[in-house]
Amino acid sequence: MTYSQSPSKGGVNPPDDSFVSRSLRIANAAVPSLAVIPLLQHVGAAARCVVQPGDHVREGMLIGAADGPISANVHSSIPGRVVEIRTLRLPDGAICPSVVVELGGEFEASGKPPKELPWENLSRQDVLQKIQAAGVVGLGGELFPTHVKLAVAPGATVSLFVANGVDSDPALSADFVLLREKPLQIVQALRICKFLLAPTRTVLALGSNAEELVSIYERALREASLDCQIVVLPSRYPQGHEQLVLGSVGDGGTQTSSVILNVGTLYAIYEAVVLGKPLIERIVTVTGAPIKGPRNLKVRIGTRIGELFEECGGLSGPVGKVVIGNAMRGLAVESTETAVTKGTTGVVVFGPREARTRTEWPCIRCGSCIEACPWDLVPTRLYKLIKQGDLVTAEKEGLSRCTGCGCCAYACPSHIPLAAVLQDGMSTRRQVPRG
């Protein structure tokens, strides 16, 4: 059954620039000659390095072991020799060790026909162990270790499981092309998750810009005899955020009784359980005005983003800013040497004109930011409190609910940097001890 829901409160409709990249098939990016692989590509503690300079590693070999209950394994994306263990600052400011691997030797899996492994007779614990061993994390941006999310406590009931295929960011199309090109694999992953969670209700959520995929998935689900409802949601940014998706398709279940996974994560689950493959590559949208040929690439973890520009035909003009993530809330990076990680959903390149700082004007009290906020916040009020240094009151008035989606700043006709100031306020507040 397919139906549409009304959009969640707030949100904005930026110009959709994803139509070019979504029209092409996924292409394999070239294997890097040097891979810089951070050991912190997930929520929680950084993985513990288990290799040292001079070691030879295989494709998919463990190089960082999960260190603690909330952590994830990290694997080498290429075969070769470890040349350095380097301390690296990530785009979000975190500092962690990284393993630098120089390409060399034979590929054990790449270029060979994949062999599907039977999993139906495995226990739940065995399937979870496969997902954990593969280092699978949430690829929609949250980076939470997936085996933890799928480990249901004894006696607990999951009322709702959602496969989130709503790609609402105006620049990205990776989820759409993955859904289009891998329906059988996505449905197989749905079967695996239903086996682990035994949910009362299962939903595949798609954006209205992906309605052409509905018939494909209706057929695939029918052939797999899988009970899964397809829900089409408006592709209004940031409708793809998991809280908004759950709010739109939920039936009153609490957050603790609902589980939602991005379709990229589902595909990684399929590869881990059915192919025995660790998470060493992901689909990345590379786009922006200076990019000659925007497209979606399957990229090895550790590839520098400058190499991806070459895969897209190079640059057609000067670059003003390079953003990792998405156009609305991504992180600007200073160097094209920055490496792709499990959390790199996209690389967006802005020209000088797009990247220029707009002149800020006084607030005209129009209320546009309030109307645009999906979380029922009053951004101008929070902005004022943060500027005054009153973070305690800002938190009482909802600052902690801000997700940094950027809708308030986008909607503001005075070009006030609302989102940036709110994010700075949240970061500062986290560092202040509670009384």
Spans in the chain with pLDDT lower than 70 = 1-8, 251-256, 429-435
Q: In this predicted structure, what is the pLDDT of residue 362?
A: 94
Q: Structure tokens of 137?
A: 């994390």
| Residues of each domain in the chain carrying CATH 3.40.50.11540 | 2-23+113-274
Phi, psi dihedrals of residue 121, rounded to the nearest 5°? -95, 5
Name residues whose C-beta falls within 8 Å of residue 42's C-beta, 6 or more positions apart in sequence. Answer: 71, 72, 135, 137, 143, 144, 145, 342
Q: What CATH number should be reported for the domain whose range is 2-23+113-274? A: 3.40.50.11540
- Do residues 170 and 14 make contact, with C-beta atoms less than 8 angstroms apart? yes
Q: What is the pLDDT of residue 432?
A: 53
Round to whole Å and give the CA distance between 28 and 171: 20
**Could you report the per-residue pLDDT of 343-391, keeping only the tens digit for each?**
999 999 999 988 777 899 999 999 999 999 999 999 999 999 999 999 9
Its pTM stands at: 0.93
Q: Are 313 and 303 in contact (CB under 8 A)?
A: no
Helix axes 418-431, 379-387, angle to 10 degrees: 50
For helices 183-197 and 214-223, angle between their N-to-C axes, nearest 10 degrees: 60
Q: How far apart are the first and last CA of the chain?
A: 51
Paired tokens of 294: 């925007």
**What is the Cα–Cα distance from 296 to 377, expressed in whole angstroms?**
35
How high is the pLDDT of residue 321? 93
Q: Which two tokens stand for residue 422?
A: 């709110």
d(CA 406, CA 286): 21
Whole-angstrom distance, CA of residue 267 vs CA of residue 175: 10
Question: To which residue do tokens 């952590």 refer?
Answer: 71
